[in-house]
Amino acid sequence: MLLKAELSKFPANVYFVYIVKTSGDTLYTGITTNLDRRILEHNSHTSKSAKYTRSFDSCKLVYSESLPDRSSATKREMEIKKMSKEKKLNLIYPLLLVET
């Protein structure tokens, strides 16, 4: 996961695939060009939030990776969305072997 200080090192056209953990202990995957803004939007419960995340009190960024363009970010997002929760947790926490 990238820290805020590291985000400034990326060019403006870089896309991020990210996973947030909701207050309901579920995972949501998306893409953005600005992680800080997108997490704020998820937590704002406005029309800019994803419909799914609006039903939860809060969302916390737990994973992100950078990709060079929207096409590769969308492909990676679809790969992650097809993963089981167990595989997503192993992606987020690679040193813990999560079994469900």
At 52 the pLDDT is: 87
- Look over the chain and give the mean of its residue pLDDT values, rounded to a whole number: 86
Q: What is the pTM of this model?
A: 0.82
Q: Are the C-beta atoms of residues 100 and 60 closer than 8 Å to each other? A: no
Question: Which tens digits make up the pLDDT trace of 39-70?
Answer: 999 999 888 888 888 889 999 999 999 999 99
| Architecture, CATH, for domain 4-92 | 3-Layer(aba) Sandwich (3.40)
What pLDDT was estimated at residue 87? 94
Q: What is the pLDDT of residue 45?
A: 84
Token representation of residue 32:
């953005």
Q: What are phi and psi of 33, to 5 degrees?
A: -100, -10
